[in-house]
Structure 1
Amino acid sequence: MRPTRLVRTPDPALSTRGRLAVGRRSARAGGTTAALALCLVLAACTGGGTGGGGSPSGTDDATGLPTAEAGGPLDLSDVCPATVVMQQDWQPEAEHGGMYALVGPDYTIDTDAKSVTGTLVAHGVDTGVKVEVRPGGANVGFQRVSDLMYLDTSILVGAVNSDQAINAAADGRPVVAVTSQMTRSPQIYMWDPATYPDATTIAEVAATGATIVTSGEIIPSLLASQGIVSMDQIDPSYEGTPQRFVTDPSIMQQGFGTSEPYVYENEVPQWMKPVAFQYLHELGYSIYPEPITVRAADVEGEADCLAKLVPILQQSQIDYLADPGPTNDLIVELVEKYQTSWTYSAGVAAFSAATQLSDGLVFDDPASGVFGQIDGDRMAEIVSTFTPVLQATGSLAADASVDPEDLYTNQFIDPSITMGDLAP
C-alpha cells in the first residue's frame, strides 16, 4: 500500500539500479505495428503461449467480440465464477496494467464502490464471464489485500507482495502466489543530483548523513541490517506529496522508478528537473511485487478455474506491455471517475509502461524461461531475508516460521508463455 498521492507506501521488496533519470519522457519507446497488434489479438503471438487455442464460436452482442469456443482454454463460463473479482493493493495505475487489460469494452464504473466491471476479454475473445477489478488504498481503509480476501470471499485473486504473504501465513490467512506479473519491485530512493553531484547510489547519499524520508519500517530495517543506512537517519513521515522534497532537496525520499522520475521532471511546477535514484531491488529488496495470489484453500477448490485463468493472466501482462495505450486510457478514466485524492496522468501511465520494460522490471523467470513462473529458490531467499526483518520491526512474531513452499505454486502456469521479442 502507498501514501495518498504521487507514490505508494513502500512494499517490502524493492529493486535498485543507480543512475540519474535525465531526460526520460513518457512516450513509449518504439511503436507496435498494426501487424503485431493484430497478431496479439488473434493469436497471442508476442510470447510463446498457446492461450488462444480453439476457434471462436460466435459473437457477443454486448461487446461485439467473438466468444470463446465452448469448453476451450478461453471459455471460463463452466469453471469460474460468473464474475471474477480481482483485488489490487492500490489505486489504478500502469503497474497493474495486466489486470486492467482484461476488462472488456462494455465496462461499467461504480463510482461509489470504486470498481470497474466488464466482460473478461482474453486475446480479443469474450471468455463468458465478467471481471471486476477493485482498487486498494483509501478505498478499503488501507487494509491488507490478504485480509480483504478472507473477509470477502467473493474476491478470487488479489495482488499481495511476497513479504506481506509471510505475515499473512503467520496470521492464519495464507495466500498462495499463482503467477507474477511484475518481476522486480519498482520502488526507489531518490535524491537531488544538484545537491549530491557525485553520488550514484543510495549508500553514497546515506553516507553524508542525509535524512531519509520514507514510510514504514521494512525497507529502512533491511538497509540498516546491511549497514547502508542508520536508523537514526530515518524520518517515517512521508505522505506521498512532493512538498518536503521540493522545499528541502537535501533529503533522500522514497518513490517509484515508474512514476516519480517523470512526475518530478514534468508535473511538479516547483521542480521540473531530473531526480537521481536507485532501485531498491538492487539492495536486497527482492520480493515479488504484487504477484497474483489466491487463498490457500482455493488452490484446490478453484483448481479448474485457475487452470484456465492463470495462463490468461500470464499473457495479459505481456499483451498490455506490447500495446499499453487502450488500458492506460481506462486507468486514467478510472482515476478521474473515482474522485479520490489519487492523481494519475496519461503521461505517467505511458512512462510507467515503457519503464517496466526499459528498466528490466518485467521479464521471464530466469530459472525456467517462463513468464510469470515463481522461482522456488528466490522465494526461499525472500523468506530467509524478510522473516528476521519483519520480526525486528514487530510485525511478525519472534517464533513465527513460514515454509516458502506454502507461499507459491506453479501448477497452473503455462510453460509455453514467454515475453518473446518484448524481453528486455
Structure 2
Amino acid sequence: MTRFATAAALAILAAAATPASALEKVTFGTNWVAQAEHGGYYQAIADGTFEACGLEVEIRPGGPQVNNRALLMAGKIDFFMGGNLLQPFSAVKEGIPFVVVAAHFQKEPQVLMTHPGKVEKFEDLATLDKYIIGDAGFTSFFQYFATAYGFDPAKRVPYTYNPAPFIADEASAQQGYVTSEPYAVEKEGGFAPDVWLLADYGFSTYATTVETMKQTIADKPEAVKCFVEASSIGWANYLYGDPSAANALIQEANPSMTDEQIAFSRASMIKYGIVDSGDSLELGIGGMKAETFKDFYAKMIDAGVLEEGIDIESAYTLEFSNSGVALPVKKKLLGE
C-alpha cells in the first residue's frame, strides 16, 4: 500500500473522530477462522483505519464450534460477518432484529467445479451424472439452479468436504468457494478444475455482510458508520495495496494458514470481482442497492426457498454503506 493512499484513508475517517477522545471498543465476530476472505477487516486494524475514526476493534474468529451470530443476538459482540442474504431474510420472518449495514462481497463466492473441458457452458452442467452438494447448498442455491437451469435434484449426493469423490469422477460437479476448493483440488488432484461462479449465472445475493442489531444502530450510529467505512477502506487497501500487514495478523490468528493459500484466495477475489464489482463500482466497496435485495428475494420465492410476504426492507439499511469512502483510496492505489 502506498504511503499516500494510507494517509488519504486516515484523513477521510479522522474528520469523523472526536479529538482526544478514548477509542470505543467493539467486537466483530466472523463466520469462520481467520483467512484472506477476512483480509479487509484485518487491514483496517493493521493500518490504523479503525482507530482514525475512533474504534478499537477486536476480531473474534468463528469456526465449527463458534456461533458468533448467537453472540450478536445476545449482545455479546457488536458486529457479525454474515454469509449471504438468506439468513437476514429468514431473521425478519422470525422477528429477529438484526440488520445488514454493508455488503463487502458483491458476489457470493460459491462455485461449482467440473473436470477440465467436461462441459462447454454452464447450462451443460445439467447433463452431468452427479452433483456433490452440502445440505445448506442443496436447500438454497441448488434449488435456484434446479428451477432456472433444470438441474436434477435426484443426482445430488452429500458433500463431505473431501474432494476425493469429485477428483475420481469426471462426470461430477462439486460445490466450493472460489477462494478455496479449486486450490485444494489442484493440490490434491493435480489438475485445475473448471470453475463456474454461481453469481455469474443468476445467484445474485450479496455476501460477507456486516450485521448488527437495530438497538446498536439506535444507540451508537457513529460507531456503526466508522466500522462500515473503515472496513470498506480496509478492503480497498487489502486488494489494491500491500496486504502483508493484514496477512501477518491473519496468520497470527490462524497459524495453519499458509502464504500460498492466502495468495490464492486474494488473487481469486480480485480475478472474479468478489469484493469489487457490480454495485460497488459505483457506490464503493461495501455498497448496496435495494434493487439487488429485491431481485434476489424474487428469485428465492420462485425457487421455493423463501415464501412471499417477508418485509425484506427491514433486513437492511443503506444509511451507512453507500458513502463511497473507498473509491478515492482505490483510485490512488491504482494510479488513476
User: Normalised by the shorter chain, which TM-score bucket?
Assistant: 0.7 to 0.9
Give the direction of change, closer, same or farther, for the CA distance of 1:306–1:251 in structure 2 (3 Å limit).
same
Counterpart pick for 1:281 among 193, 199, 214 = 199
Q: How is 1:377-416 mapped onto 2 (pairs within 5 angstroms)? A: 377-387=291-301, 389=303, 392=304, 398=307, 401-413=309-321, 414-416=323-325
Contact 1:202 1:278 in 2 (8 A): yes
Deviates more, 1:130-139 or 1:162-171: 130-139
Is 1:138 aligned with 2:64? Answer: yes
SS at match of 1:323: coil
Is 1:245 aligned with 2:166? Answer: yes
Counterpart pick for 1:155 among 56, 63, 77 = 77
Percent identical: 23
Give the direction of change, closer, same or farther, for the CA distance of 1:370–1:246 in structure 2 (3 Å limit).
closer
CA shift at 1:85, angstroms?
A: 0.6
1:229 matched to which residue of 2? 151
SS at match of 1:177: strand
Aligned letter for 1:166? Answer: F
Contact 1:201 1:278 in 2 (8 A): no
CA distance in 1, matches of 2:283, 2:222: 25
Give the direction of change, closer, same or farther, for the CA distance of 1:200–1:300 in structure 2 (3 Å limit).
farther
Contact 1:165 1:175 in 2 (8 A): yes
Deviation string 1:57-102 (CA, Å, 9 cap, x unpaired) is xxxxxxxxxxx7716xxx672xx4xx31101111211111112223
SS at match of 2:64: helix
CA shift at 1:388, angstroms?
A: 5.0
Q: What is the TM-score of this pair, normalised by structure 1?
A: 0.69
Is 1:121 aligned with 2:48? Answer: yes
Q: How is 1:184-223 mapped onto 2 (pairs within 5 angstroms)? A: 184-193=107-116, 197-208=117-128, 210-215=129-134, 216=136, 217-223=139-145
1:339 matched to which residue of 2? none
SS at match of 2:78: strand
SS at match of 2:297: helix
Contact 2:5 2:332 in 1 (8 A): no
CA distance in 1, matches of 2:119, 2:333: 32
Contact 1:146 1:165 in 2 (8 A): no
Give the direction of change, closer, same or farther, for the CA distance of 1:368–1:41 in structure 2 (3 Å limit).
closer
CA distance in 1, matches of 2:7, 2:89: 39
Higher helix share: 2
Contact 1:42 1:52 in 2 (8 A): no
CA shift at 1:184, angstroms?
A: 0.8
SS at match of 1:291: strand
2:12 matched to which residue of 1? 50
2:287 matched to which residue of 1? 373
Counterpart pick for 1:345 among 251, 255, 258 = 258
Q: Any gaps of 5 or more consecutive residues in structure 1? A: 1-35, 55-67, 105-119, 337-342
Is 1:93 aligned with 2:26? Answer: no
Deviates more, 1:363-372 or 1:250-259: 363-372
Aligned CA RMSD, in angstroms, stands at 2.7
CA distance in 2, matches of 1:404, 1:128: 31
Count of matched residue positions in the alignment of Structure 1 and Structure 2: 325
SS at match of 1:133: strand
CA distance in 2, matches of 1:200, 1:385: 25
1:61 matched to which residue of 2? none
1:64 matched to which residue of 2? none
Contact 2:280 2:288 in 1 (8 A): no
Q: What is the TM-score of this pair, normalised by structure 2?
A: 0.86
CA shift at 1:212, angstroms?
A: 0.3
SS at match of 1:353: helix
CA distance in 2, matches of 1:174, 1:387: 22
CA distance in 1, matches of 2:332, 2:204: 25
CA distance in 1, matches of 2:49, 2:22: 10
Aligned letter for 2:127? Answer: A
2:326 matched to which residue of 1? 417
Q: How is 1:96-115 mapped onto 2 (pairs within 5 angstroms)? A: 96-104=38-46
CA distance in 1, matches of 2:181, 2:147: 26
CA shift at 1:227, angstroms?
A: 3.2
2:180 matched to which residue of 1? 259
CA shift at 1:200, angstroms?
A: 3.0
CA distance in 1, matches of 2:175, 2:59: 27
CA shift at 1:405, angstroms?
A: 1.9
CA shift at 1:416, angstroms?
A: 4.2
1:12 matched to which residue of 2? none
CA distance in 2, matches of 1:406, 1:377: 14
Contact 2:106 2:280 in 1 (8 A): no
CA shift at 1:316, angstroms?
A: 1.1
Contact 1:146 1:174 in 2 (8 A): no
**Bigger Rg, structure 1 or 2:** 1
Aligned letter for 1:121? Answer: G
Aligned letter for 1:385? Answer: K
CA distance in 1, matches of 2:268, 2:104: 14
CA shift at 1:154, angstroms?
A: 2.6
Contact 1:191 1:276 in 2 (8 A): yes
Q: Any gaps of 5 or more consecutive residues in structure 2? A: none
Give the direction of change, closer, same or farther, for the CA distance of 1:320–1:39 in structure 2 (3 Å limit).
same
